[in-house]
């Protein structure tokens, strides 16, 4: 019997980025199960914070580390995967560093009432924001975007980075359950190598928050 495929995705931009994910269902009452999950997540965050020490590296160094230790290969800039990720990365970077270029689409929030009509409206707003970001010229938003792939068995991990802004924009992985555990260890190792500075820890910066979130994920 084939093992069910599992996927783990770190969406570019994270919770504050350009992409929003919604779960349809009954969410009015906080169930006991959700409460337990929240407690377990908070415990994982506390453990993750204890693992972090000030030892930052640039994304160029992370890319070199990934190539040397995990045989990471750069995805050509002509491939559809690269082009799709580039578009998402551009939108995310604009959202984080130059939101004024989004012409009113920098703050999009979901309605308190989740129904089909409000979902369609929100999705259209996100589409318009993506289209606005795509039209921003390189002179306004300089980038040096790279996408790397690490293969393990029947699975793979993608790492998106930008050298101009010196940031890891996201990692995503897919494979069966046993492979996913190996890929999770690799992604954790890469994020820990990227690291944070003492100032990041003190100020709880976006870089620090992203590292804690990654280490806290399953």
The SS3 call for residue 139 is: coil
| C-beta atoms surrounding 148 within 10 Å | 20
Task: Give residue 199's pLDDT band: very low, low, confident or very high (50, 70, 90).
Answer: very high
pTM: 0.76
Lowest mean pLDDT among 46-60, 115-129, 189-203: 115-129
137-146 pLDDT tens trace: 999 999 999 9
Lowest mean pLDDT among 80-84, 105-109, 158-162: 105-109
Torsion of CA 163, 143, 188, 79, to 10 degrees: -110
| C-beta atoms surrounding 16 within 10 Å | 11
- Which pLDDT score, from 0 to 100, does residue 139 have? 95
> How far is the first Cα of the chain from the last one, in angstroms, to the nearest whole number?
25
Is residue 89 within 8 A of residue 162, CB to CB? The reply is yes
Task: Give residue 31's pLDDT band: very low, low, confident or very high (50, 70, 90).
Answer: confident
- Which pLDDT score, from 0 to 100, does residue 45 have? 85
The SS3 call for residue 53 is: coil
The percent of residues in the chain predicted with pLDDT above 70, rounded, is 81
Task: Give residue 33's pLDDT band: very low, low, confident or very high (50, 70, 90).
Answer: confident
Please check the confidence at residue 215 and state whether its pLDDT lies above 90: no
The percent of residues in the chain predicted with pLDDT above 90, rounded, is 52
Please check the confidence at residue 9 and state whether its pLDDT lies above 50: no
175-188 pLDDT tens trace: 998 999 999 999 99
Residues in the chain: 218
Q: Which residue has the higher pLDDT, 186 or 110?
A: 186
Residue whose entry in the numeric block shows the structure tokens 């993608």: 158
- Which pLDDT score, from 0 to 100, does residue 109 have? 62
Task: Give residue 110's pLDDT band: very low, low, confident or very high (50, 70, 90).
Answer: low
Please check the confidence at residue 158 and state whether its pLDDT lies above 50: yes
């Amino acid at each position: 019997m084939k093992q069910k495929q599992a996927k783990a995705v770190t969406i570019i931009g994270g919770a504050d980025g350009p992409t929003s994910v919604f779960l349809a269902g009954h969410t009015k009452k906080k169930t006991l199960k959700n409460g337990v999950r929240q407690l377990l997540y908070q415990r994982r965050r506390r453990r993750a914070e204890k693992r972090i020490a000030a030892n930052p590296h640039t994304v160029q160094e992370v890319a070199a580390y990934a190539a040397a230790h995990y045989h990471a290969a750069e995805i050509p800039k002509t491939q559809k995967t690269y082009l799709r990720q580039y578009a998402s990365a551009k939108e995310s970077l604009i959202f984080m560093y130059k939101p004024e270029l989004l012409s009113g689409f920098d703050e999009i929030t979901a309605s308190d009432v989740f129904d089909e009509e409000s979902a369609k409206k929100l999705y259209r707003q996100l589409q318009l924001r993506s289209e606005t970001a795509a039209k921003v010229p390189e002179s306004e938003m300089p980038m040096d975007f790279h996408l790397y792939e690490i293969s393990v068995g029947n699975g793979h991990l993608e790492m998106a980075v930008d050298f101009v802004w010196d940031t890891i924009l996201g990692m995503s992985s897919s494979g069966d359950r046993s492979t996913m555990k190996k890929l999770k260890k690799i992604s954790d190792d890469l994020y820990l190598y990227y690291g944070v500075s003492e100032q990041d820890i003190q100020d709880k910066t976006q870089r620090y928050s992203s590292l804690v979130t990654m280490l806290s994920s399953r």
